[in-house]
Amino acid sequence: MVENHSSTAGPTGAAQAQAAAADLPAPARPVLEAPDIARVLTRIAHEIVERAKGADDVVLLGIPTRGVFLARRLADKLTGITGRPTQVGSLDITMYRDDLRLHPPRALARTEIPGDGVDGRLVVLVDDVLFSGRTIRAALDALGDIGRPRAVQLAVLVDRGHRELPIRADYVGKNLPTSLRETVKVLLAEEDGRDSVLLGQKESRNDSRQDAHGGPGADARSDAPAR
Residues 199, 178, 220: CA angle, nearest 5 degrees? 70
Q: What is the pLDDT of residue 59?
A: 98
From the number of C-beta atoms within 10 Å of its C-beta (0-12, 13-18, 19+), residue 183 rates as buried
Count of domains observed in the chain: 1
Q: What is the pLDDT along the chain (227 residues), one digit of tens a residue?
A: 544 544 444 455 555 555 444 555 678 999 999 999 999 999 999 999 999 998 899 999 999 999 999 999 999 999 999 999 999 999 999 999 887 777 766 678 889 999 999 999 999 999 999 999 999 999 999 999 999 999 999 999 999 999 999 999 999 999 999 999 999 999 999 999 999 999 999 976 554 444 433 333 344 444 343 22
Q: What is the pLDDT of residue 23?
A: 54
Q: Residue 71, SS3? A: helix
SS3 letters across 9-53: CCCCHHHHHHHHHHHCCCCCEEEEEHHHHHHHHHHHHHHHHHHHC
What CATH number is attached to the domain comprising 65?
3.40.50.2020
Question: What is the DSSP-derived secondary structure letter of residue 117?
Answer: -
Query: What are the C-alpha distances in Å from 72 to residues 51, 67, 91, 214?
Result: 19, 9, 13, 27
Residues spanned by the domain of 55: 33-97+112-181
Does 131 map to a domain? yes
Closest C-alpha among 154, 120, 150, 151 to residue 137: 154
What b/e readout covers 84-104, taking b as 16+ CB neighbours within 10 angstroms?
eebbbbbbbbeebbeeeeeee
Residue 106: other Cβ atoms inside 10 A: 12
Closest C-alpha among 164, 138, 156, 141 to residue 217: 164
Does 166 map to a domain? yes
Does 209 map to a domain? no
Kindly calculate the radius of gyration of the chain based on its CA atoms and give it in whole angstroms: 22
Q: What is the pLDDT of residue 12?
A: 57
Residue 67: other Cβ atoms inside 10 A: 29
- Report the run of H or E that residue 124 belongs to, with start and end: strand 122-130
Q: What is the pLDDT of residue 118?
A: 98
pTM summary value: 0.80
Does 76 map to a domain? yes
Q: What is the pLDDT of residue 24?
A: 54
Residue 124: other Cβ atoms inside 10 A: 29
